[in-house]
Amino acid sequence: DGGITQSPKYLFRKEGQNVTLSCEQNLNHDAMYWYRQDPGQGLRLIYYSQIVNDFQKGDIAEGYSVSREKKESFPLTVTSAQKNPTAFYLCASSIDRDALGSGNTIYFGEGSWLTVV
């Protein structure tokens, strides 16, 4: 089936550790995105990538890093520099690389819960 797959669904991290969230899509979409969701705050953009080997910071990029070595993959690393990483993380993609302002629909994965213990 076509779609966006995120793993793991639940992840626990000790303070000071880096963790990587996986995101894979088989929709042949050009653009991919990472959002963070906190209760009562909606979705905030962390990073996005419009083409392979290129990515841009979103509103809350500090403490996060990404790579886009393949069109279908866009992993997110939550580093120890991220002071409050406990949140729900959503990966998304769109067929158009300019989707953020062009009106093309963004499609989402099922998300990953990250908890710092």
Partner 1 sequence: AQKVTQAQTEISVVEKEDVTLDCVYETRDTTYYLFWYKQPPSGELVFLIRRNSFDEQNEISGRYSWNFQKSTSSFNFTITASQVVDSAVYFCALSSNNDMRFGAGTRLTVKP
Candidate residues 52, 71, 88, 95; the one interacting with partner 1 per rule CB under 8 A: 88
Q: Nearest to residue 85, comparing CAs of 42, 37, 45?
A: 37
- For position 54 contacting partner 1 by CB under 8 A, the verdict is no
Give the distance, in angstroms, between the CA of residue 93 and the centroid of all CA atoms in the same chain: 9
Identity of the residue, 45 or 80, whose beta carbon is nearer to partner 1 in the bound complex: 45
Torsion of CA 2, 9, 98, 62, to 10 degrees: -160
90 is a contact residue toward partner 1 (CB under 8 A)? yes
Q: Does 110 bind partner 1 (CB under 8 A)?
A: yes
Which stretch in 14-22, 24-32, 69-77, 85-93 sits in contact with partner 1 by CB under 8 A?
Answer: 85-93
SS3 16: coil
Regarding 2 and contact with partner 1 (CB under 8 A), the answer is no
Tell me whether the omega of the peptide bond preceding residue 39 falls within 30 degrees of 0, making it cis: no
103 binds partner 1 (CB under 8 A): yes
- Tell whether residue 106 is a contact of partner 1 (CB under 8 A): yes
Query: Which of 40, 16, 42, 27 lies closest to 74, judged by CA?
Result: 27
* Token digits of residue 59: 């509103």
Residues found in the chain? 117
| Footprint on residues 15-44 left by partner 1 (CB under 8 A) | 40-43
Task: Provide the binding-site residues for partner 1, judged by CB under 8 A.
Answer: 40-43, 45, 88, 90, 92, 98-103, 105-111
